[in-house]
Chain A
């Protein structure tokens, strides 16, 4: 994928940072206002899609290499599972909100409240952002040569008519 003109590149490099920041805000405040892990993760991934459209795929691959995205993906899922298992170890059953019940109740309507829910939001946001970035990157890697495909279609049809 090639990039676009200079105007698009300049503006989108600023806008990408703002979108990324907005995504982080949606993830962090997920327990107080609409949003949460999944929506914030989608916004994070779409900031990278903007970068991919404006600058081309090779630039984004240098920016966030695929193995690192893959490891972030696994790390997000593993953190979520870790929170669940810590609930079993500390609290007594899976997914129990042990931070809220024992250690850190916090005040309602503050950022630090709700126990393990913001931590789960962070883990899910990380995982969804990395996963969607990988999906869209992998889908854009299919490049096809339209001329060779037209030749193949023609040869398939003539081959069938001969049989």
Chain B
């Protein structure tokens, strides 16, 4: 039985609107319903993994109505969103007890997940914009959830830059509609193939790069991320860093460049340049940070740079007409790094939330010696740090290795050197985290800390286990062919993919 695709958007929306109607006494029921919704989404995502189908909403045929598309790339991201979302929701059942307005938090969280699922599944450009806005507005409200000084400032900054990005994206969509006369991605792809790129479409593409690049926090547009991610509550930081910047920013940009506009060399070089800048700037700026979550936020910028670098490399190789095998390898490296980063960055933010809940501070200078008091937290943090720094056999090593091999084979030796240097920077910053947070002497005011309990522990341990087993995804060839390769094939097929999928 195939799951109808709107279910992925309908379940979180319906549960989100039922939750505020339950009164104060039914708060445990509200939490239970929210967790049940997320777990059911995860189960449905696993069940519909690997299909490739199109769902016509409302029964209207394709150019007249909106359609939702599930293919290899969408199902990979859907799996990442639901997995990280389930862990973050489990974590927040205990973590959000310190805030007062918990039912509103659950509503906003489920709305954000509904928006992200909609972005990943939509086959229509304007529908993508609507769901992008739903997820963005829910995340602006969630970043400022605590209502304190820093959170309001961070939320305002995030909101201003995010609204500017959305205005850019809408302007780009208007230009595309004006030039091609359709909003459906397959029809737009066919029209662009027929008429070629004119000035309006090139301007629209640059607006899309700016708008989605701002949502993905690439370097000239990254100013909101170091303030927004630390100020948000820890499970929201995990969702923002782990899946939101990827589903809204990188997925949308990749889908538009590969499947709608078609690859071209200037676009590929722009992506490579943005990726390199983000990697280097994020890595260097992160080393000097003393705030735990701010360091993790800058590290997010750096790792997203890796993903965009991989995808840009693939774009340039495809556009040159060089060997498809190396382009496929570059895109595989980028996508695998995307999935890896979702898992281990969200695990890192969850551990930082656990540490913050136990010690009451985020400044690493005030911490130390927590290794004896919080052994499980320390173990999960070490697993995540080792993966992100690229220590074998953890998955981070394999994704960086694939990117280095692809860069070397394509002849760009300086890119490979940059990847290795930034990997060393990443190792330095995570050694700093380990040294100042967990090793060393336990200060006087922290003698009372206890290990994290309950659902927070379950969420962190499950993500850590997933982290360890993710390296099997690329090492075992059958798993790689089932999980990662369909996503790469969708992107390699380029503009013919969407027209083939709806049998134009």
Direct touch of chains A and B (CB < 8 A):
yes
Interface positions of A (Cβ within 8 A of B): 70-71, 73-75, 77-78, 81, 84-85, 87-88, 91-97
Q: How far is the CB of B482 from chain A (nearest CB, A)?
A: 29
B13 touches A93 (CB 8 A): no
**Contacts A93-B58, A95-B57, A96-B59 known; A78 to B10 CB distance under 8 Å?**
no
A93 touches B18 (CB 8 A): no
Q: Bound complex: CA of A78 vs CA of B4, how far in Å?
A: 19
B10 touches A84 (CB 8 A): yes
B21 touches A88 (CB 8 A): no
Q: How far is the CB of A149 from chain B (nearest CB, A)?
A: 15
Q: How far is the CB of A4 from chain B (nearest CB, A)?
A: 33
Q: Bound complex: CA of A95 vs CA of B10, how far in Å?
A: 11
Chain A residue contacts of B13, Cβ below 8 A: 77, 81
B14 touches A93 (CB 8 A): no
B14 touches A78 (CB 8 A): yes
A77 touches B58 (CB 8 A): no
A91 touches B59 (CB 8 A): yes
Q: Bound complex: CA of A75 vs CA of B18, how far in Å?
A: 8
- B251 at the A/B interface (Cβ < 8 Å)? no
Interface positions of B (Cβ within 8 A of A): 4, 6, 10, 13-14, 17-18, 20-21, 55-59
A77-B13, A88-B4 known; 14 new pairs, CB 8 Å cut-off, are: A70-B21, A74-B17, A77-B17, A78-B17, A81-B10, A84-B10, A85-B14, A87-B58, A91-B59, A93-B56, A94-B4, A94-B10, A94-B58, A96-B59
The 4 lowest CB-CB distance pairs between A and B, nearest first, are A77-B17, A95-B58, A74-B21, A96-B59
B17 touches A85 (CB 8 A): no
Chain B residue contacts of A77, Cβ below 8 A: 13, 17
- Of chain A, the residue at the smallest CB distance from B56 is A93
Chain B residue contacts of A93, Cβ below 8 A: 4, 55-59
In-complex Cβ contact of A97 among B14, B17, B18, B58 (8 A): B58
Q: How far is the CB of A114 from chain B (nearest CB, A)?
A: 13
Q: Bound complex: CA of A122 vs CA of B231, how far in Å?
A: 39
Q: Bound complex: CA of A71 vs CA of B4, how far in Å?
A: 29
Chain A residue contacts of B4, Cβ below 8 A: 88, 93-94
- Of chain B, the residue at the smallest CB distance from A96 is B59
- Of chain B, the residue at the smallest CB distance from A97 is B58
Chain A residue contacts of B18, Cβ below 8 A: 74, 78
> Which residue among A78, A87, A92, A93 has the maximum number of chain B CB atoms within 10 Å of its CB?
A93
**Contacts A74-B20, A74-B21 known; A96 to B14 CB distance under 8 Å?**
no
Q: How far is the CB of A48 from chain B (nearest CB, A)?
A: 20
Q: Bound complex: CA of A100 vs CA of B4, how far in Å?
A: 22
B10 touches A92 (CB 8 A): no
Q: Bound complex: CA of A81 vs CA of B111, how far in Å?
A: 14
Q: Bound complex: CA of A94 vs CA of B57, how far in Å?
A: 6
Q: Bound complex: CA of A88 vs CA of B4, how far in Å?
A: 9
Q: Bound complex: CA of A87 vs CA of B7, how far in Å?
A: 13
- Of chain A, the residue at the smallest CB distance from B6 is A94
Q: How far is the CB of A132 from chain B (nearest CB, A)?
A: 15
A92 touches B21 (CB 8 A): no
Q: Bound complex: CA of A78 vs CA of B18, how far in Å?
A: 7
Q: Bound complex: CA of A39 vs CA of B57, how far in Å?
A: 24
Q: Bound complex: CA of A97 vs CA of B59, how far in Å?
A: 8
**Contacts A93-B57, A93-B59, A96-B59 known; A85 to B10 CB distance under 8 Å?**
yes
- Of chain A, the residue at the smallest CB distance from B19 is A74
A70 touches B20 (CB 8 A): yes
Chain A residue contacts of B59, Cβ below 8 A: 91-93, 96-97
Q: Bound complex: CA of A95 vs CA of B355, how far in Å?
A: 46
- Of chain B, the residue at the smallest CB distance from A80 is B17
Chain A residue contacts of B21, Cβ below 8 A: 70-71, 74-75
Q: Bound complex: CA of A94 vs CA of B6, how far in Å?
A: 7
Q: How far is the CB of B262 from chain A (nearest CB, A)?
A: 31
A81 touches B14 (CB 8 A): yes
Q: How far is the CB of B65 from chain A (nearest CB, A)?
A: 9
B17 touches A81 (CB 8 A): yes
Chain A residue contacts of B10, Cβ below 8 A: 81, 84-85, 94
Chain A residue contacts of B55, Cβ below 8 A: 93
- Of chain B, the residue at the smallest CB distance from A76 is B17
Q: Bound complex: CA of A94 vs CA of B14, how far in Å?
A: 14
Q: How far is the CB of B38 from chain A (nearest CB, A)?
A: 18
Q: How far is the CB of B58 from chain A (nearest CB, A)?
A: 4
Chain B residue contacts of A74, Cβ below 8 A: 17-18, 20-21
Q: Bound complex: CA of A74 vs CA of B18, how far in Å?
A: 6
Report 24 cross-chain contacts, Cβ distance below 8 Å, ordered by A residue.
A70-B21, A71-B21, A74-B17, A74-B18, A74-B20, A78-B14, A78-B17, A81-B10, A81-B14, A81-B17, A84-B6, A85-B10, A85-B14, A87-B58, A88-B4, A91-B59, A92-B59, A93-B4, A94-B6, A94-B10, A94-B57, A95-B57, A97-B58, A97-B59
Q: Bound complex: CA of A85 vs CA of B57, how far in Å?
A: 12
Q: Bound complex: CA of A92 vs CA of B59, how far in Å?
A: 8
Q: Bound complex: CA of A133 vs CA of B59, how far in Å?
A: 35
Q: Bound complex: CA of A104 vs CA of B6, how far in Å?
A: 25
- Of chain B, the residue at the smallest CB distance from A78 is B17
B17 touches A96 (CB 8 A): no
Chain B residue contacts of A84, Cβ below 8 A: 6, 10
Q: How far is the CB of B136 from chain A (nearest CB, A)?
A: 18
Chain B residue contacts of A94, Cβ below 8 A: 4, 6, 10, 57-58
Chain A residue contacts of B56, Cβ below 8 A: 93
Chain B residue contacts of A85, Cβ below 8 A: 10, 14
Chain A residue contacts of B20, Cβ below 8 A: 70, 73-74
- Of chain B, the residue at the smallest CB distance from A95 is B58
Chain A residue contacts of B6, Cβ below 8 A: 84, 94-95
Q: Bound complex: CA of A88 vs CA of B6, how far in Å?
A: 10
Chain B residue contacts of A95, Cβ below 8 A: 6, 57-58
- Of chain A, the residue at the smallest CB distance from B16 is A77
Q: Bound complex: CA of A78 vs CA of B55, how far in Å?
A: 23
Q: Bound complex: CA of A88 vs CA of B13, how far in Å?
A: 16
